[in-house]
Amino acid sequence: MSLSDLAIAKTDDLPIRHEGNVHSGKVRSVYWLTAEDSARICEERGYEVTPGTTLAVMVISDRISAYEIIWQGEDGLQGVPGKGASLNATALHWFEEFEKAGLAGNHILESPHPLVWIVQKAEPVMVEGIARQYITGSMWRSYARGERSICGIPLPDGLENGQKLDELLITPSTKGILKDIPGVPEKDDVDVTRDQILDNYEAFAFRSPEDVDRYETILSEGFNIIAKQADEAGQLLVDTKFEFGYIPNASGDGYSMIYIDEVGTLDSSRYWDKSAYADGKIVENSKEMFRKFLCDAVPEADVLLNKERMDEREALGKTFKVPVEALMATSELYKSTAEKLTGKAMPEITNARQEILDALSEFGIVE
């Protein structure tokens, strides 16, 4: 088996019958199914959804993105072996834990293969809810420059890099480019305040002001569930990102807010080794390790850290090849940390494309 076979990077060209264009994000490709196939599959599989629900096949890849760039590897290795399966398994674990705790549902109806989710269409809330328990990363860099607030939340003087905060902070940012909201630049991933969301809740796609409280509640409670279990597994949950959406109730009497995208994964969260932190050291057990590698490896780290140098960053992403050793070390980190968090072994995938198509054949959508 060659290096190029160890990771699946291209997932938007599978022979899956779908409608419209395949949406390919940083790591996932989404195939929206036809109304006919959606209705048939809902009936055949017994999904408890509202009639007329649109389904999608969501296929995760082993691509790795950091600093808004998808990075290429050396010697034909175009991703991180096992990364996609580790992400899916971790997210599924937390979604199940949230449901058991009675927090909220999610968009996943079934996972017929470790790299595949069958999901229902949701109306996304245009806010990425970021919860922070420690000061680090971009928050620390802003604080070190003298800023003493984040998303309108005041911060005290005297904080140190890596310090645990007195309370969990919810620091929302925009999901996509939003227009005509006072004080909010028309850019993706812009920090916003709670007051801005409340004053313009419809522009952020909330259905009511009360739902702003609801998203904060299930965000905080979800964070606490992950943090507690992670602590038991020797990991500290430092910060994490949640996304939310609405689906019609199966009974047809209104809408429910659910979790969408992924939760608690090494892509969307920072985890630190608990015992190392107790000894005054920070050991990253998340994608932050890969980000640190990039900063150390590229000619000038500021190109990655400074959003004003995006043109240079995109050029770098086309020319810089990540060493195989770095991708394999990242692979081991993703798998081992996912196993600690979920308590389960990660699946071994030997022929991703064929396995995906075999798993989907019973749905009647493979062409």
Helix (H) or strand (E) holding 28: strand 28-32
Sign of the Cα pseudo-torsion (203, 206, 211, 217, in order): negative
Model pLDDT, residue 212:
98
Q: For the chain, give every residue range classified as CATH 3.30.470.20.
A: 123-278
Asked if residues 249 and 50 have their Cβ atoms less than 8 Å apart, the reply is yes
In the 8-state DSSP scheme, what is residue 362? G
Asked if residues 293 and 265 have their Cβ atoms less than 8 Å apart, the reply is no
Q: How far apart are the first and last CA of the chain?
A: 27
Model pLDDT, residue 1:
62
Model pLDDT, residue 251:
78
Asked if residues 102 and 349 have their Cβ atoms less than 8 Å apart, the reply is no
Q: For the chain, give every residue range classified as CATH 3.30.200.20.
A: 3-121+310-363
CA distance 142 to 244: 27
Amino acid in position 82: G
User: pTM for the full model?
Assistant: 0.94
Amino acid in position 241: K
Helix (H) or strand (E) holding 162: none
Q: What architecture is domain 3-121+310-363?
A: 2-Layer Sandwich (3.30)
Q: What architecture is domain 123-278?
A: 2-Layer Sandwich (3.30)
User: Nearest CA to 241 among 213, 258, 271, 262?
Assistant: 262
Distance of CA 334 to the CA centre of its chain: 14
CA angle 69, 71, 75 (to 5 degrees): 165
Owner of token pair 């790299």: 115
Owner of token pair 């909330």: 206
Could you list the pLDDT tens digit for every one of the 367 residues in the chain? 678 788 999 999 999 999 999 999 999 999 999 999 999 999 999 999 999 999 999 999 999 999 999 999 999 999 999 999 999 999 999 999 999 999 999 999 999 999 999 999 999 999 999 999 999 999 999 999 999 999 999 999 999 999 999 999 999 999 999 999 999 999 889 999 999 999 999 999 999 999 999 999 999 999 999 999 999 999 999 999 999 999 998 777 899 999 999 999 999 999 999 999 999 999 999 898 999 999 999 999 999 999 899 999 999 999 999 999 999 999 999 999 999 999 999 999 989 999 999 999 999 999 9
Sign of the Cα pseudo-torsion (189, 194, 198, 199, in order): negative
The set of residues, in sequence order, having a beta carbon less than 8 Å from that of 357 and lying 6+ positions away, is 14, 15, 366
